[in-house]
Each structure stands twice: as C-alpha cells, then as structure tokens.
Amino acid sequence: MKPKRLFMLELSDVFGNQVYLPYSSGVVLSYAFSKPHIKENYELIDWLYYRDSIESMVERIEDPDIVGFSCFVWNWQMNLKVAKIIKDKYPECLIVFGGQQQPLADRVEDFFDNHPYVDILVHGEGEVTFVEILEECTKETRDYSHINGISYHNGKMPVMTFPRPRMDDIDECESPYLDGLFDKLMESRPPHLLYNASVESARGCPFSCAFCEIGERYYVKVKKNYGKIKKEIDWIVKNKIEYITDANSNFGLYYKPDMDLAEYVKEKKEETGYPHAYRVTWVKGKADKVLDIAKVLEEAGVQKGMTIALQSMNQKVLDAIMRKNVDGGKLKEFIEMYEGNQISSYVELIWGLPEETLESFIEGVCEIMELDYHNYLDIHLMAALINTPFSRPDYIEKYGLEVSHTQPRFHHRHIRDKLSEDTTQFVTKSNTFTQEEWIEGHQFRWLTIFGHYLGPTQYISRFVRRYSNVSYEDFYTSLLEYIKTHPDTLLGKEYAAIMTNLNQILDNKRHWGIVIPEISNINWSVDEATAIKVAMNYDIYEFEMTQFLLNHLNLDIESDLFDDMMNYQKDRMNYIGPSVKDKKYHYNIHDYLENDTPLLKTATQLQFESCGIEDYFEWAKKIIWFSRRT
C-alpha cells in the first residue's frame, strides 16, 4: 500500500538570521517513526518550521493525508489560516492541532463550530496520542473515541475523551537529533539561516504559577530525561550550533544530574568552542542550592545570567498567582552570595499581575534597588496565555482582568510593514490598576531598565542615594516627572515617541519596539533603543541630566564632587572607543560606591577597560543585546 503523506508545521519567527530547530514537533515525529507500523504506512513529505508567506507555505503542501500543527501563541493565527486553506483544497485531509495554544479540553466549547477545518485537538503530551491517531487513520473505518487526550467533532457536538496519562519514561523516547530527522533539515537548510537548538533535560514543573501554561496540575510531576541528552549535545556541537536552550523549567532541581550535565557542557565548550550559550531556567527559590552548578556554566562562559525569578514583591499578588517567593532577607543573602562568587544574576518581575497596583509595582522595583542590587532587572509585561487561569471566566471576573490584543512582543528582528495576524493578549487593566496606570507603569519600567539597569543613570542615582539620602523611588519618580514636563529634551522626546507608539500598539496598529535606522534595520526594545541613543548623544544627555540634578532635584553638592560623580558615571559605561583609559578624580568615588568606604577628598586615578568596539551596531549587538543580563 502506498504510504500516507504526512506534513508537519511548527512555525517560528526568524530573528536576524536565526531560527530554532522544531524540537516540539521533532520529538513527536521521532516517537512516531520509531514505531514500525507508522514507518511502514507514512512518509514525512515536508516539515515547515519558519514563518514565510502563507501562499509559499501552502504551495509546499501537496496531496496531504495528514497535516500536524504544533501551536504556540506566536503562530496560532497563521496556523488557523493555513489549516483552513488546506482543508478547502483537500477536504479529506486530517488536520491535527497540538502544542500549547489550542484550548484545553475543558475550554473547547464552540471551537469546532468556529474552526470546522480543524479535525482533532491534542491535549497534554503528544507523542503517544499522535501515534494512536496515525494508527487509526490506517483503518478503513476511523473511530477516535478510544484515543485518550483529544477533542474532536462527531458531526453533532464536540467530543472530549479521557485525559491522556503522562508518559512514564521520556528518557527512552527517540530523539530527532539522533535518529536522522534533524540531519535532513540540516541538509535542506536555506543558506541564510542559522539554527538554535532546544533540549529537554526534564519535563514538568512541581509549581503551579497561575500565569504559566505548565502550571496546570497535569504537568506537576517532573519526568527526567538525562539518558540521551549528552549525545544530543554532541550532535549540536558537531553541527556548530551556537545557542542551546534547555526546556527544563527547574534546572538544578536534581543536583547531581544537572551538575553532571553542566560539567559536560563546559567540557564540550573547552574542546570545541561550542556551544556559545547554554540557556537554562533555574529552579525557583533554591539559589543557594545551585550555586556550584552556576559556577560551572559561568566558568564555561555559556551562561547569560543566574535568574532570580520573583515576579512581584507584593504578597497579595503572589497569593493571587499561587507563587511563593524567598523573603527579603533571603533575597539579599542570595544576591550577596552570587556577587561574592562572581556569578552574574538578574531579577525578574512582571508588570500587570492581579492585585498589583501602580504604587506597589514602583515600590517593588525600587525595593530591589534598595537591597543594593544593580546588575540587571528584567520586567516582563503580563501576557494572558489561553491555557492558564488568566483565561478562565471565574479568574477574570475575580480580578477584573482586561486585555489588549497586540502584535507579538518580539525584538531583534527585521520588521515587516504588514502586521501579523498572530496577536498576544497583555493584561492592561484589572481591579487594582487602570489602563492609564498600566501605561504609567510601562513608562516607569522603561526608565528604570534603560537608565538604572542598562546604566546611564545608575551611578548617579547610587551616589545620590548614599550622599544625599534620596531614595531610589524619589529619584526615579522625580526623573520621570522631569522627563514628562521637558518634552524638548533627549529623554523627553523618547518618552513622547514611546507614548505615541504604545497607544498605537495597544490598538494593534503597529509592531512593538523601535528601529534606529542610523545603525540597523532591526527593532530594539524601547529601553534598549533609548540606551543606544543616549550612547550616541551622551554630551546632550549629560547636560540635560545636570539640569535635572541641580534645578529639579535641587542637589546640594560642591562642584568638584559633582564633576567626579558625572565623570564616573560616564567612565563606567562600556561605550565605543578606546579599550583602556586612565582617569583622575578628586575623591575616592569608586571605593565610596563599590566598597562602602567613607568618602574622602583624595586624588585618585582609575583605569577603565571597555569593549574597544568602534561601530555602534556591533557595540549595541554585543553589549546591549547579547550581554544585557551580565
């Protein structure tokens, strides 16, 4: 019998010239083709894994028997449109949706009425379910009712079968790296594309955070997957793929195997120069337990920073999202421990969570600064994913959540004029903040990230905090007010442009981010863009900051000390120019800020080493984009 024609889609955006290998659909396909009955009866005709025009993608799908879609928030609308065209063209083709974006079984409701071109939704892990669907399609009469973990329409109503139990041993499953599937993609790779890779040292998460899709109880048991991962890394290294993301949601939860894996990555990096980065999500609240593992990755030069994922500093918020954080004392201990061991770290918060207010958000951001943490703070905007409590009617009603449908919030890519049909739902209003307050929080986020954590205001604010006892909250709220009331300044123009863009973004009329045509045609996040523009116009920025400090903040400071503060701020920035420079100061300002010594008027000479890059795009790419967290 002629093999059935199978097509698979896992569409991702291309960032610069980089795209991820389609790992999610890859593990499903590898499992399926490890079964003799599937291998005998199916042929994988094409595997589409990067976003292209709908017309060109549909042209590649000829005479399909089954088309599988791996669905995520960034490709959902495109998947729906492609599926409809395929169904119209090939009515007998079976359309199967899996992944994380299709609704859970208890939320199917009128899905098949609205999307009649989709035949089956796969819920939960897809390997076994997809095999059973493929096996059923080899029969003359198909009956999907015995297949666990799916929803489908029986002609009269949607049918939800029993939930699919989790797999017992994902360690024994085939791998697309090792069975030849990804070899075929390498052979047919367009010459302009570079691959990034994903691996999965463990699957599942013991936590139940309300904003996370794997916070569902289905995934609460963690399944280890360490048996084949070293061989997968060998394949990745052999193919000179620079960036690896480990999909383990709690790296370090299992100390011994994670330490062994980190040491193996370090060994490979020392032997071959690859990978350049091994990105992990660290286990929550166990920073002291994973320090030794972090040291190994840090020594290998493959870590982009140790995550301290807090999400909020407000206990009412943490209760609402079912999240438990370390207390303030423990957090300060973690920060000091990392810094004492020269481990880069960054803190994560989320703006837009239920029970958060504008005031508590600002207080939380500044509380982290008051802990003397100045390396990097990542503040995400709360996205309401479809399969989290944020999409449940009772949760929405309880917290008064309202969302804005915007373009996906991606940066560092070439922006097309045409808007994407795939949108992201950001929570922009709740019982505790209005949309106007959400916008104000967005602008405060912009100021503190570009200014404090990307640098141009950090050493000034730290000096003023200690010397004049001006709190970080007073400093940054005053600076934001100055920016808003001085629209002709460099930062005033930035603020106004971001506000104009943001209103269009919330109406889904433009993409996120800002393009700086003087240096490149890719889009930067607003905080990155402002940091870059400050670097390119530092003399103007410095003059205007001086006006703010003296005339708005009314800083009372003698001229020599003021000059030292401003010069030290500029000298600490890793800007383009000479890689080594010697600077003289009237005071011991470096030791005053970094080593907590008393301020003394004593001639001091410091030597600064910087990147030595002369081109603004190369500088921005290396320092602002790739190294912002370290």
Taking only the tens place, the pLDDT of each residue in 121-144 is 999 999 999 999 999 999 989 999
* The pLDDT of residue 297: 92
Measured in degrees and rounded to the nearest 5, phi and psi for residue 393 equal: -55, -40
SS (H, E, C) 127-138: HHHHHHHHHHCC
* The pLDDT of residue 341: 80
* The pLDDT of residue 422: 82
Instruction: Report whether 304 contacts 246 (CB < 8 A).
Output: no
* The pLDDT of residue 289: 77
Identify which of 221, 229, 121, 217 has the alpha carbon closest to the alpha carbon of residue 167.
221
Higher pLDDT, 614 or 106: 614
* The pLDDT of residue 419: 87
Q: What is the mean pLDDT of residues 397-413?
A: 92
Measured in degrees and rounded to the nearest 5, phi and psi for residue 267 equal: -60, -45
What percent of the chain shows pLDDT beyond 90? 71
Higher pLDDT, 285 or 44: 44
Q: What is the distance between the alpha carbons of residues 421 and 416, in angstroms, rounded to a whole number?
A: 12
* The pLDDT of residue 104: 85
What percent of the chain shows pLDDT beyond 70? 97
Within 10 angstroms of residue 240's Cβ, the number of other Cβ atoms is 13
Lowest mean pLDDT among 63-77, 92-106, 202-216: 202-216
Higher pLDDT, 217 or 106: 106
Beta bridge partners of 8: 47, 68
The answer to whether residue 229 scores a pLDDT higher than 70 is yes
* The pLDDT of residue 214: 67
Instruction: Report whether 151 contacts 158 (CB < 8 A).
Output: yes
Note if the bond before 275 is cis, omega within 30 degrees.
yes
Per-residue pLDDT tens over the stretch 303-341: 877 788 889 999 999 999 888 776 556 778 778 888 778
Q: What is the distance between the alpha carbons of residues 99 and 299, in angstroms, rounded to a whole number?
A: 35
Quote the mean pLDDT of the chain: 92
Give, to the nearest 10 degrees, the angle between helix 229-238 and helix 255-272. Answer: 20
* The pLDDT of residue 531: 98
The answer to whether residue 382 scores a pLDDT higher than 90 is yes
Lowest mean pLDDT among 209-223, 284-298, 551-565, 596-610: 209-223
Most confident range (mean pLDDT) of 200-209, 345-354, 584-593 is: 584-593
The answer to whether residue 256 scores a pLDDT higher than 80 is yes
Q: Is the dihedral of CA 491, 492, 498, 499 positive or negative?
A: positive
* The pLDDT of residue 328: 55
* Helices (runs of H) and strands (runs of E) counted in the chain: 23, 22
SS (H, E, C) 541-554: HHHHHHHHHHHHCC
Per-residue pLDDT tens over the stretch 293-308: 989 998 998 987 778 8
pTM: 0.84
Q: Predicted confidence band at 191 (pLDDT cuts at 50, 70, 90)?
A: confident
